[in-house]
Amino acid sequence: MKKRVKRIRGTRTCGGGSHKKRRGSGSRGGVGNAGAHSHHVVRSLKMGIIKGMHISHQHNRHDEKALNVGNLEEMLEELIREGKAEEKADGIYLDVTELGIEKILGKGKVTKKLMLTANAVTETAKGKIESAGGTVSII
């Protein structure tokens, strides 16, 4: 079946009935922000007119690089081979800021004695490192 649009293009009202029917702002649901809380709620949410309901997740994103203590211990042998960590008799010295890590988190187990330097360390991570005999220094 052919679309009706082509057939009605040459007529005066293009299929809209009387020429009086498509007049005014009532045919489009109001002017400006009319209906922002009722019949145009989706449009107003997308445009950000209703600010209390529109939640932008971009502002809540954390860009700081964090690493868990357990993952750090798994990486230690490779870091020692690459020369980014130093193994001495009294423990393993490591500066995580050189690796681009800003914060050390507390998930995982710590079995080796770490002498750690970081920008930020959580309380659980600090407790686990110190219970294994290591030390934490915060820059």
For the chain, which residues score pLDDT lower than 50?
A: none
Task: List all residues 6 or more positions away from 47 whose beta carbon is below 8 Å from its beta carbon.
Answer: none
CATH 4.10.990 fits 4-47, yes or no: yes
Query: Could you report how far apart the first and last alpha carbons of the chain are, in Å?
Result: 74
Which pLDDT value is given to residue 124?
Answer: 94
pTM of the shown model: 0.55
Tell which residue, 137, 108, 132, 107, has the closest CA to residue 120: 137
CATH 3.100.10.10 fits 66-138, yes or no: yes
Which pLDDT value is given to residue 105?
Answer: 93
Please state, in angstroms and rounded to a whole number, the distance separating the CA atoms of residues 71 and 89.
23
Please state, in angstroms and rounded to a whole number, the distance separating the CA atoms of residues 109 and 74.
10
Which pLDDT value is given to residue 123?
Answer: 95
Residues of the chain with CATH 4.10.990: 4-47
Please state, in angstroms and rounded to a whole number, the distance separating the CA atoms of residues 16 and 4.
12
Residues of the chain with CATH 3.100.10.10: 66-138
